[in-house]
Amino acid sequence: MGVNKCNYQIDFKQRRIQDEFWTPFQKLVKNVVVPYQQAVLEDKIEGVEKSGAIQNFRIAAGLAEGDFYGMVFQDSDVAKWLEAVAYSLELEPNTELEAYADEIIEIIGKAQQPDGYLNTYFTIKDPDRRWQNLQECHELYCAGHMIEAAVAYYEATGKKKFLTIVQRMADHICNRFGPDKHRGIPGHQEIELALLKLYRATGEGRYRDLAGYFLDERGTEPNFFAEESEKRQWNHFGIDPEDRLYAQNHAPVREQNTAEGHSVRAMYMYTAMADYAAETGDAAMANACRALFNNVANKRMFITGGIGSTVEGEAFSIDYDLPNDITYNETCASVGLVFFTRKMLDLEPDANYADVMEKALYNGVLSGMQLDGKKFFYVNPLEVIPGVSGKLAGYKHVKPVRPGWYACACCPPNVARLPHITSKICLGRNR
């Protein structure tokens, strides 16, 4: 089959959701979740995991003293929150929130290095080891989230400063990676879908082409992660570079037809593949997307739209292995499934994609946040056993109660940025 691209466009800014379910949810995110997460990222909430994410930018910018705090991908929490802010401002202007976001963007600009590089972990802790460990250190992943945030902020406010910052960063990445440059693929996919958004925001084809390069370089020989590991001789997490399924690095993406490995990485990659196929008319890429969708939807997805049924590697396992009580079902994976199915609808108007998108949105994603907007699930089981879940071996990942934040906080800001995207999903192309 070829690519039957949908050709409809609706101006999101002209439309509003008026719905008994989603309107209150969008208000909750705007009025509660966005301010709550701002306070968490600024370390102003007692009794939850420390974030340090905004302070890291202040330190990297030379505006504060101290050490980097948190995960190697801590920057992405700030980026996803800023993206949520952008959607919030699009729904309802808020001069105070916008002034604060501008201040954070100013700090991000100051944390950027003269060559365009932007990542607080390496800038503060390990500047000599930039770009040496793509497999484990998430530099491209953080860059992707920063790009998504900047594009959203530009579209919401018309202000170009953030977009200019990420373009300098993207150009730095373009100058480094690609055919006839350094070989490379991200350990955690995300940059691919972000570069496609940046391409559409700027019209610069080099961003689309680099997204295509990162997609097509994955799964090729020799194994990039093994080569990279051999060369650098140091590890961050200790992820096995030969575990090729984990990072969807087991086959060229056009030849992949079952959902394998880390489920969030898989979803972000499939999202980019579907987007790239719709954007370029690439029929082989579109066919791979259809096969991957069918495998997920028919054999590897829970009735809730939850995916990634094993805690081992936060990953897909095998067809029909869908255990209610020990499943993983990361919130971010269902968020990713919403993105993937939305892009499949851009590729072709098939109701199966909309059905799965709706299932994931109403169930797999929303279970990730408590109704008050201040507590979050990372893991979303279908069954919780008091005294067993969260306690016994094999069940420790299944928390019976939602915490207020996480040391690895990928999920909460992913939920924060989703309800606003929902408007774009329902009303037109999320592109």
At closest approach, how far in Å is the CB of 417 from Zn ion? 12
Question: Phi/psi at 301 (nearest 5 deg)?
Answer: -130, 140
Indicate the residue type of 262: H
Residue 411 binds to Zn ion (criterion: CB under 5 A): yes
The answer to whether 163 and 203 have CB atoms below 8 angstroms apart is: no
Min separation Cβ 368 and Zn ion, Å? 8
User: Is 116 or 187 the residue whose CB approaches Zn ion more closely?
Assistant: 187
| Distance of closest approach, residue 264 Cβ to Zn ion, in angstroms | 6
Q: Does 338 bind Zn ion (CB under 5 A)?
A: no
Active site residue 314: yes
Instruction: Provide the minimum distance between the beta carbon of 421 and Zn ion in the complex, in angstroms, as a whole number.
Output: 16
Rounded distance, CA 25 to CA 361, Å? 12
- Of 53 and 111, which CB lies nearer to Zn ion in the complex structure? 53
CA distance 361 to 305: 8
- Cβ neighbours for 22, distance < 8 A, ≥ 6 positions apart: 419, 422, 423, 426
> Closest distance between Zn ion and the C-beta of residue 423, in Å?
22
| Binding of Zn ion by 415 (CB under 5 A) | no
Under rule CB under 5 A, residue 78 binds Zn ion: no
**Site residues (CB under 5 A) for Zn ion, limited to 111-130:** none
Q: Tokens representing 206?
A: 């080099």
At its nearest, how many Å lie between Zn ion and the CB of residue 320?
24
Q: For residue 332, state whether it binds Zn ion (rule: CB under 5 A).
A: yes
Of 165 and 267, the one with the shorter C-beta distance to Zn ion is 267
Q: How far is the CB of 403 from Zn ion (least distance, A)?
A: 13
Q: Which stretch binds Zn ion (CB under 5 A): 11-19, 96-104, 136-144, 407-415?
A: 407-415
Q: How many residues does the chain have?
A: 431
**Residue 74, helix vs strand vs coil:** coil
- Give me Rg for the CA atoms of the chain: 20
DSSP-derived 3-state class of residue 163: helix
Stretch that binds Zn ion, among 85-93, 193-201, 281-289, 324-332 (CB under 5 A): 324-332
Distance CA 259, CA 356 (A): 15
Of 260, 314, 330, 348, which residue is the catalytic one? Answer: 314
Q: Residue 195 in 3-state DSSP?
A: helix
| Active-site residue identified among 174, 289, 410, 411 | 410
With CB under 5 A as the contact rule, which of the stretches 48-56, 171-179, 294-302, 330-338 interacts with Zn ion?
330-338
Which lies closer to Zn ion via its Cβ, residue 116 or residue 413?
413
Nearer to Zn ion, 272 or 285 (CB): 272
Written as one string, the DSSP assignment of 111-163 is HS-TTS---HHHHHH-GGGTTS-HHHH-HHHHHHHHHHHHHHHHHHH---HHH
Contact 412, 376 (CB under 8 A): yes
**Residue in 128, 130, 221, 129 with CA at minimum distance from that of residue 183:** 221
How many residues touch Zn ion (CB under 5 A)?
A: 4
Among 410, 415, 416, 421, the residue binding Zn ion under the rule CB under 5 A is 410
Choices 153-161, 178-186, 274-282, 411-419; region in contact with Zn ion by CB under 5 A: 411-419
Of the listed pieces 122-130, 142-150, 237-245, 406-414, which binds Zn ion according to CB under 5 A? 406-414
CA nearest 148: which of 112, 85, 195?
Answer: 195
Query: Which residues are annotated as catalytic?
Result: 314, 410
Rule CB under 5 A: which residues touch Zn ion? Answer: 330, 332, 410-411
